Structure 1
Amino acid sequence: MAYDFAPLFRSAIGFDRLAQLVDTAAQNPVGSSYPPYNIEKLSDAQYTLTMAVAGFGPDDIELTVQDNTLIVSGRVSDTTQGSREILYRGIATRAFERRFVLADHVVVEKADLTNGLLRIAVRQIVPEALKPRRIPISSGQAVADDNVPPVEAATDGVAGAIAADATATSQRASCAA
């Protein structure tokens, strides 16, 4: 399924990453629900990803962040399984891989495995340049930019042609009346 983002791109700048995320989500088929997980929002900038990984130890799980994607994969080693005969397997220990797309400026801070629950702390860190800032307004002083010439000085070229055209139009209108 393809989406047309042309209306968005006509009035917004820099949202091409959003289009890429939607395309990626649409292409990924719905996979296995194993292992189950929760995503909790603790504050505006803090999240916790909790995965139920019973039967896995810290050495059996690998966390990787690559290209704004958190990859959680697990594989139980076969050395512990070989010495036992399992009559009924109700606790799944099959290999898995889960991928979570991270927003810009999101970092994985730490991970903890306790009582079969893997908790991954995630935080959004907004750089100073992206934080809102108040711009002071002065009164009676012109704001000058060294790279842009003042409008009054630009009477030649296009600005002069526009001014001459406006004068000629107003003179014709007054003669016609």
Structure 2
Amino acid sequence: MTSLDIAFLATGAVTIAAALLAVTTRQLVHSALWLVLSLGGLAGCYLVLGAELVALVQVLVYVGAVVVLVIFALMLTRAPIGPSAEHSTSRLHRALAAVLGAGVSALLLAVLLPLAGREAVARTPVDSSALAGDLFGTWVWPFEAISLLLLIALIGAFSVSRLAGGQTGGPS
């Protein structure tokens, strides 16, 4: 085993552990924070594999935007920080989810394990400057326009939630 293999296994183990904790914890905020670690670990896996641009996009889009949006939605809806009976499921539902997860894992292993014994594919270095040039040259203004539109929608949702909270007599 090379040092890259060991680094990949370590980041993969952290990613899997954080993903399992993200879906099994009973506290919503802790789940979102475990999701941050899981997505960051996945970006680490991409870095070890030599896909720096994909790792950067993973951090920017998923860790930087999606998780922040989830945490913002939790704060906006005033979701309880600790465990609550409203957000809990029955043991039957948890058992069915575990069986379904085990079935999907078994299917994935049945497909991927036969591929593990094959020889390693020769890796060719890829220059991502052309993709980066297109992404940050040609498509930068549409990307910025979409981000501005999403920011306006987020501010509008926040304003509407505050207005609706004030009209119904709820806490503001």
State the TM-score, normalizing by the size of structure 2.
0.19
Considering fraction of residues, name the structure with more strand.
Answer: 1
State the TM-score, normalizing by the size of structure 1.
0.19
- In our comparison, the structure showing a higher alpha carbon Rg is 1
Considering fraction of residues, name the structure with more helix.
Answer: 2
